[in-house]
Amino acid sequence: MKALWNRMFWRANLLRYRGSRRRVGRSWAAGESGQALFEFAMIAIPMSLLIVGIIKFGILFDQYVTLTQATDTGARTLAVNRGAGTGPPTACSMAQTALDNAATTLTTSQINVSTSFPSPDTSTCSALVAGDSATVEATYPCDLQILFLNLWPSCQLVAETTVRIE
């Protein structure tokens, strides 16, 4: 009976004092209280730079695709409107308008468009000849500033399309 009583008393005391027992091994007083915070700070800064860089690259890629598609639209408009003549809406101005309308997500005032004609016979938009080629080139400034670091201050997105005049 005495053994049973000792076992019951030991179990009751064990349950009562279980939470206050000291940890075995390392204690919290060893100076490791800020270790997790320090490790988080060491990883958070490079990870945030990486995430912002990925987002910035995605935005630049979207702007490049938009500029390329707008240049294709402007060149196609130039190719099919050679008969616009010398009146106020020349083929080049129609191509510029089509390019600006196609670049919906870009700031149209920052798009620089140039039209060139590689063939020696054609030198202006009013003298387009069927079968000649025309090149429409558009540039757009890109922003590569990540937080306070400007990686490439003079970055330009360039899209070029060459078409045959119809």
Percent of the chain with pLDDT over 70: 73
Q: Which of 22-26, 69-73, 120-124 has the lowest mean pLDDT?
A: 22-26
Is the pLDDT at 141 greater than 70? The verdict is yes
User: What's the token pair of residue 166?
Assistant: 């119809």
**Is 157 inside any structural domain?**
yes
What value, to the nearest 5°, has the Cα angle with vertex 24 and ends 18 and 27? 105
**Is 37 inside any structural domain?**
no
Quote the number of domains for the chain.
1
CB 81 within 8 A of CB 91: yes
**Is 88 inside any structural domain?**
yes
**Is 5 inside any structural domain?**
no
**Is 24 inside any structural domain?**
no
User: Which residues 6+ apart lie within 8 Å of 114 measured at CB?
Assistant: 136, 137, 138
CA distances from 14 to 27, 78, 129 (A): 21, 90, 100
Q: pTM (2 decimals)?
A: 0.71
In angstroms, the first-to-last Cα distance of the chain is: 111
Q: Could you tell me the residue range of the domain that residue 130 belongs to? A: 48-164
Q: How many helical (H) and strand (E) elements, i.e. helices and strands, does the chain have?
A: 3, 5
Query: So what's the pLDDT on residue 52?
Result: 87
**Is 159 inside any structural domain?**
yes
Is the pLDDT at 138 greater than 60? The verdict is yes
**Is 151 inside any structural domain?**
yes
